[in-house]
Amino acid sequence: MRAVHLTAFGNPVERLEFVQIEEPPAPGPGQVLIGVEFSPIDLSDLLVVRGAYPLRPSLPSVIGNEGVGRILAVGPGVENVAVGDRVLTPLYSFAWAERIVAPADGLFALPANVDPQQLAMLTINPPTAGLLLSEFVDLAPGEWVVQDAANSGVGRAVIAFAKARGLRTINLVRRPELIDELKALGADVVIEDTPEGLSLVKAALGTAAPRLAIDGVGGPSAATLIDLLGRDGTFVAYAALGNAPIAVSALALIFKRISMHGFFLSDPEHAAKIRPFVVEGAELLRAGRLYAPVAATYPLSAIKDAVAHVERGGKVLLDVGAS
Nearest to 307, CA basis, from 14, 48, 68, 2: 14
53 is catalytic: yes
* Phi, psi (deg, nearest 5) at residue 72: -100, -30
| Rounded Cα distance, 298 and 321, in Å | 11
What's the per-residue H, E or C state across 103-157? Answer: ECCCCCCCCCCCCHHHHCCCCCHHHHHHHHHHCCCCCCCCCEEEECCCCCHHHHH
The burial of 288, by beta-carbon neighbours within 10 Å (0-12 exposed, 13-18 middle, 19 or more buried), is given as: exposed
* Phi, psi (deg, nearest 5) at residue 258: -70, 135
| Rounded Cα distance, 91 and 109, in Å | 16
Are 222 and 247 in contact by the 8 Å Cβ rule? The answer is yes
Are 137 and 42 in contact by the 8 Å Cβ rule? The answer is no
The letter for the amino acid at 71 is I
Helices vs. strands in the chain: H and E counts, helices first = 11, 15
| CA pseudo-torsion sign 268, 273, 277, 282 | positive
Residue 38, beta-bridge partner list: 68, 319
Nearest to 195, CA basis, from 158, 228, 147: 228
Task: List active site positions.
Answer: 53
